[in-house]
């Protein structure tokens, strides 16, 4: 079969399981052929050999069965960095870009106010995507640490820090900041915030990501109720807390920030105009 035809056939086969079937198919074809996605997209009329075609079909079948592309490839790009990812952690998502951007902005204004290096802690770190991206982008301007409840996730977060930064980030096993010692100038978190009943639907439909990373309890807000007051206790005066939220949680999470004594509250949106981050000082 021709490479181009394989690509469109693969994309068509993924249309019902993926929001990005062509992207997925091109990444999987590149993996099957041991080449880059750019090479796959530039492919002329050359035919796939039998082994390449069989490998591609195998990867497409895994994707159809519900496995995320990031797990199949063992990697996911986030903020220009290639994170190692597998079923131990949530796949880094574009949804989390606004959290990183909010944190960068806060870190830059804190360091302009004389607080360098900015002490940052990323709770619920998972693969370490937010912590490692902030450390990479802020360099010497920040000292970044991270925590997670899952020992498996923490292993991967440490590996990502070592691989992508060439140095370790302090990492601690912790249930929602319990036992974590501050003070910090900035705390970031992308806690689980999906409602339990929505999660039931995700797993009934074959979801593969750890429930621990998604399930925020009956109303999705369970972890914010614990996190927000604890983060407040760990922040230096003028310190900032920024959390990712589900698009309908802006008002409820802002109320939790206000209750815990945060000021200068802001609900920030993603590029699609959905509420995605709550920030407070």
The site for ligand GLN (CB under 6 A) is made up of 93, 95, 190-194, 214
Nearer to ligand GLN, 119 or 230 (CB): 230
C-alpha neighbours within 13 Å on the C-beta side of residue 274: 13
DSSP labels, 201-226 = HHHHTT--S-GGGTB--TTS-HHHHH
Nearer to ligand GLN, 53 or 95 (CB): 95
Closest CA to 126 of 19, 223, 45, 61: 223
Pairing of strands 235-244, 184-189: parallel
To the nearest whole angstrom, how small is the minimum distance from the Cβ of residue 213 to ligand GLN? 6
Nearer to ligand GLN, 81 or 194 (CB): 194
To the nearest whole angstrom, how small is the minimum distance from the Cβ of residue 247 to ligand GLN? 9
To the nearest whole angstrom, how small is the minimum distance from the Cβ of residue 94 to ligand GLN? 10
* Cβ atoms of residues 179 and 154 within 8 Å: no
To the nearest whole angstrom, how small is the minimum distance from the Cβ of residue 42 to ligand GLN? 33
Nearer to ligand GLN, 162 or 217 (CB): 217
DSSP labels, 161-192 = HHHHHSS---EEE-STTTT----EEEEEE---
Burial class for 75, CB neighbours closer than 10 Å (0-12, 13-18, 19+): middle
To the nearest whole angstrom, how small is the minimum distance from the Cβ of residue 102 to ligand GLN? 15
To the nearest whole angstrom, how small is the minimum distance from the Cβ of residue 231 to ligand GLN? 16
Nearer to ligand GLN, 10 or 250 (CB): 250
Rounded Cα distance, 80 and 93, in Å: 12
Nearer to ligand GLN, 125 or 254 (CB): 125
To the nearest whole angstrom, how small is the minimum distance from the Cβ of residue 8 to ligand GLN? 28
Q: How many CB atoms lie within 10 A of CB 243?
A: 28
Rounded Cα distance, 211 and 89, in Å: 10
Nearer to ligand GLN, 48 or 277 (CB): 277
Cα radius of gyration (the chain) = 20
Nearer to ligand GLN, 6 or 91 (CB): 91
Rounded Cα distance, 281 and 188, in Å: 12
Provide the 8-state DSSP code for 264: S
Collapsed DSSP state (helix, strand, coil) of residue 125: coil
To the nearest whole angstrom, how small is the minimum distance from the Cβ of residue 236 to ligand GLN? 26
Report how far apart, in Å, the C-alpha atoms of 158 and of each of 49, 128, 185, 215, 226 are: 39, 7, 22, 23, 25
């Amino acid at each position: 079969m021709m490479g181009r035809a394989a690509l469109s056939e693969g994309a068509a086969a993924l249309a019902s399981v993926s929001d990005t079937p062509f992207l997925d198919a091109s990444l999987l074809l590149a993996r099957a052929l041991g080449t880059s996605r750019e090479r796959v997209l530039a492919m002329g009329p050359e035919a796939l050999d039998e082994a390449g075609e069989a490998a591609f079909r195998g990867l497409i079948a895994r994707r159809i069965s519900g496995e995320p592309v990031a797990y199949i490839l063992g990697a996911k790009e986030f903020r220009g960095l290639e994170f190692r990812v597998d079923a131990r952690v949530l796949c880094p998502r574009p949804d989390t870009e606004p959290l990183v951007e909010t944190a960068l902005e806060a870190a830059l204004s804190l360091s302009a106010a004389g607080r360098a290096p900015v002490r940052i802690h990323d709770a619920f770190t998972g693969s370490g995507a937010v912590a490692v991206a902030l450390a990479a982008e802020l360099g010497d301007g920040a000292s970044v640490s991270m925590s997670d409840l899952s020992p498996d996730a923490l292993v991967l977060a440490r590996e990502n820090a070592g691989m992508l930064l060439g140095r370790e980030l302090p990492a601690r096993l912790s249930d929602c900041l319990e036992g974590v010692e501050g003070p910090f100038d900035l705390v970031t978190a992308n806690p689980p915030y999906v409602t339990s009943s929505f999660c039931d639907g995700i797993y009934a439909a074959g979801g593969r990501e750890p429930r621990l990373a998604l399930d925020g309890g009956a109303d999705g807000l369970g972890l914010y109720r614990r996190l927000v007051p604890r983060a407040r206790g760990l922040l230096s005066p003028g310190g900032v807390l920024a959390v990712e939220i589900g698009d309908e949680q802006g008002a409820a999470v802002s109320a939790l920030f206000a209750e815990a004594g945060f000021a200068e509250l802001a609900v920030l949106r993603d590029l699609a105009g959905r509420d995605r981050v709550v920030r407070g000082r």
